[in-house]
Amino acid sequence: MDTLIQCLISALSNASIYALIAFGFSLTYVTTGTLNFAQGEFVMVGSMIGIFLVMNWQNDGALTAVQRPLWPLWLGYIVSVLVMSGLGVLLERYVMRPFSTSLSIGWIMSTVAIAILLRNIIENFIGSQVNPLDPVVKGSLSLAGQQVDWQKFFNMGLTLTIIILLQLFFKKTMLGKSVRAVAFNPTAAGLMGINVNFVKALAFALSGALAAIGGLALTPVIGGMGPETGTSFGIAAFAVAIIGGLDNLLGIAVAAVLYSLTEQFIQNYLYLGTSNFGIDLFRAITFGLLIVVLAVKPTGIFGRTLVQKV
């Protein structure tokens, strides 16, 4: 029973992070038809900026903390989210837009290149060690014979709030409606007076912000963030976004929960002697499933089926 509860809590906590990162994929996909394959690195950089501002950072690429004035947690978080939004806008303008013609795969290669670039920049200028970040909510709750960090519950609540806010934004605000219009038909939206490029930039800004929020929420739960850490979360979120349907926020949320539950149950109940086995098996299954979804229902399990007129 204790293990079951542990699985459920871990799964929901992970799902909330995967969903946040996957929403970022969704936002750029529906507006521009492109995906930022550096999303995992955006998560990492967002977290690193937060760590850099609010924690005792370390000198000379690694090792010991140098005492210096620190920013309050909330301010560091806000700055990180703003910087990553800005980076999202720059990415759209200078990396995506020049390459995003219908026949080009340049944007894929450029975002993969940006991913490598970001990892190396962080490694070379900030360091490669894993760095911890203070949680927003400290302490833990005693539940079913274990201590569950309050931060995990905070993350779940945060994701739920963001889902609600995004739904309100898309359905109730003029700006949100213009995003949907651009997603539906950019040419018609442009003719109706919507500034399509602005909407695209906005989508990338939101995507960058979500990556930063994901990274900041994630880091206290997983122990720390290093230059390599974001990549695996980016890949997991990518799988979630594909399985859930790139144009369906609720589908992504459901897929994130299913993905994380499967991950936790396989890890904990198919544990055959070495802890690696469950994780490796899960990854094999997930990416096998991903290929099946892309082949059979490329709009995702919860995505709407697209009828194309010919």
Of residues 91-120, which lie at the interface with other proteins (CB under 8 A)?
Answer: 100-102, 105, 108-109, 111-112, 115-116, 119
Distance, in Å, from the CA atom of 69 to the CA atom of 100, rounded to the nearest integer, reads 43
Q: Which two tokens stand for residue 36?
A: 């930022």
Distance, in Å, from the CA atom of 172 to the CA atom of 101, rounded to the nearest integer, reads 31
Q: Which of 190, 224, 262, 301 binds other proteins (CB under 8 A)?
A: 224
- Nearest Cα neighbor of 203 from 84, 83, 27 is 27
For the segment 56-95, give every residue that binds other proteins (CB under 8 A). 59-66
For the segment 174-193, give every residue that binds other proteins (CB under 8 A). 186
Distance, in Å, from the CA atom of 78 to the CA atom of 133, rounded to the nearest integer, reads 15
For the segment 121-140, give every residue that binds other proteins (CB under 8 A). 123-124, 127-132, 140
CB under 8 A: which stretch of 54-62, 174-182, 205-213, 249-257 binds other proteins? 54-62
C-beta of 86 vs 93, nearer to other proteins = 93
C-beta of 69 vs 78, nearer to other proteins = 69
Distance, in Å, from the CA atom of 21 to the CA atom of 304, rounded to the nearest integer, reads 21
Q: Which of 23, 77, 154, 238 binds other proteins (CB under 8 A)?
A: 238
- When asked if residue 261 is in the footprint of other proteins (CB under 8 A), the reply is no
Alpha helices, DSSP H, located in the chain: 2-32, 39-54, 73-90, 106-121, 150-172, 174-184, 186-191, 196-222, 229-244, 249-269, 275-296
For the segment 2-31, give every residue that binds other proteins (CB under 8 A). 3, 6, 10, 13-14
Tell the residue number behind the tokens 């995906």, with chain if given. Answer: 35
What is the CA angle 187-192-198, rounded to 5? 70
Q: Which of 90, 176, 268, 289 binds other proteins (CB under 8 A)?
A: 268
C-beta of 173 vs 232, nearer to other proteins = 232
Tell me how far, at minimum, the Cβ of 116 lies from other proteins, in Å: 6
Q: Which of 161, 173, 195, 275 binds other proteins (CB under 8 A)?
A: 275
Tell me how far, at minimum, the Cβ of 199 lies from other proteins, in Å: 14
Q: How many residues bind other proteins (CB under 8 A)?
A: 72
What is the CA angle 162-168-173, rounded to 5? 130
CB under 8 A: which stretch of 42-50, 88-96, 153-161, 275-283 binds other proteins? 275-283
- Nearest Cα neighbor of 137 from 93, 69, 73 is 73
- Nearest Cα neighbor of 16 from 223, 254, 285 is 254
